Amino acid sequence: MKHLTRRALSLVLALALLLSACGAFAEESTIIGSTIQYDTSKPINNGEDIAVEFWYWTGSDKLFQAVVDEYTAIHPNVKITLVENPWDDYWTKLPLALQGKDGPAIFNVHNSYHENVIGYLAPYDIPVEDLEADFVGVSAHIIDGKVYYTDYGMMTATMYYNKAMWAAAGLTEADIPKTWDEFREVAKKLTIRDENGNLVQAGFSFNGGAQGDVLGMQYQYGQNLFTADNKVSFNNDAIKAVIQRMKDIYEVDGSGDYNFGNNSGDNFGQGMIAMYLGWGFMHGLFQSLWPETEFGSFEIPTPTEEVPYAYHRYNGESTFGVNKNAPADQQAVAQDIIRFFLAKDALQKQFVLANSVFPAKKSLAEDADILGVSSIAVLANHIDRYIWPGPMPSAVENNMKIALEDIFYNGADIETALKNAEETCNMELEGSEFVSVEPQYTYASEAK
Partner 1 sequence: MQKRIKSANSLRSKSEIVLRNTVVASLILFFLVFFYIPIFAAFYGSFHLWNPLKGQFKPIGLKNWQTVLNNSLFWFSMKNTGVFSIVAVAARVIIGLLLASALFSKLVKARSFFRMLYYMPTITPMVAVAFVWKNMYDPQFGLLNQLLGSKINWLFDGRYAMIAILLLTIWKDFGYAVVIFLGGMYSLPMDCFEAAEIDGANARQRFFRITLPLLKPTVIFIVITSFISYFQTYIPVMVLTQGGPGTKTYLASYLIFDQAFSKYNFGYASAMSFILFLIIAILTAVSFKAAGENGQ
Applying CB under 8 A, the residues found at the interface with partner 1 are 91-92, 95-96, 99, 115-116, 119, 258-262, 272, 393-395, 398, 401-403, 405-406, 408-410, 412, 417, 424, 427-428, 431
CB of 102 to partner 1, least distance (A): 16
Q: Is 28 helix (H, G, I), strand (E, B) or coil?
A: helix
Residue placing its CB nearer to partner 1 in the complex, 345 or 406: 406
AA letter at 361: K
Residue placing its CB nearer to partner 1 in the complex, 130 or 422: 422
Residue placing its CB nearer to partner 1 in the complex, 55 or 341: 55
Rounded to 10 degrees, what is the CA torsion of 165, 171, 175, 180?
A: -50
- List the end-to-end C-alpha distance of the chain, in Å, as a whole number: 89
Measured CA distances, 304 to 67, 179, 350, 359, 421 (Å): 44, 6, 36, 28, 28
Residue placing its CB nearer to partner 1 in the complex, 381 or 416: 416
Residue placing its CB nearer to partner 1 in the complex, 76 or 197: 197
Find the length of the chain.
Answer: 448
* Integer Cα distance of 322 and 333 in angstroms: 10
Residue placing its CB nearer to partner 1 in the complex, 258 or 290: 258
- Closest Cα to residue 100, out of 85, 80, 124, 120? 120
Residue placing its CB nearer to partner 1 in the complex, 25 or 409: 409
CB of 59 to partner 1, least distance (A): 19
CB of 406 to partner 1, least distance (A): 4
CB of 256 to partner 1, least distance (A): 13
Residue 42, sorted as left (phi over 0), alpha (psi -120 to 50) or beta, turns out to be beta
Residue placing its CB nearer to partner 1 in the complex, 110 or 362: 110
CB of 116 to partner 1, least distance (A): 4
Residue placing its CB nearer to partner 1 in the complex, 241 or 395: 395
Q: Give every CB contact of residue 92 below 8 A, 6+ residues apart in sequence.
A: none
Rounded to 10 degrees, what is the CA torsion of 424, 427, 431, 433?
A: 70
Q: Is 415 helix (H, G, I), strand (E, B) or coil?
A: helix
Cross-strand partners of 361: 135
28, burial (CB in 10 Å: exposed 0-12, middle 13-18, buried 19+): exposed
CB of 393 to partner 1, least distance (A): 8
Residue placing its CB nearer to partner 1 in the complex, 117 or 225: 117
Cross-strand partners of 143: 146
CB of 416 to partner 1, least distance (A): 11
Helices (H), 100-236: 114-117, 128-134, 163-168, 180-190, 211-217
* Integer Cα distance of 145 and 80 in angstroms: 30
CB of 78 to partner 1, least distance (A): 29
Measured CA distances, 353 to 116, 362, 377 (Å): 28, 15, 12
Contact assessment for residue 312 and residue 223, using Cβ atoms and an 8 Å cutoff: no
Query: How many other C-beta atoms can be found within 10 angstroms of the C-beta atom of residue 69?
Result: 10
Residue placing its CB nearer to partner 1 in the complex, 89 or 366: 89
| Helices 237-251 and 394-408, packing angle to 10 deg | 40
245, burial (CB in 10 Å: exposed 0-12, middle 13-18, buried 19+): middle
CB of 314 to partner 1, least distance (A): 23
CB of 267 to partner 1, least distance (A): 8
AA letter at 380: A
CB of 119 to partner 1, least distance (A): 6
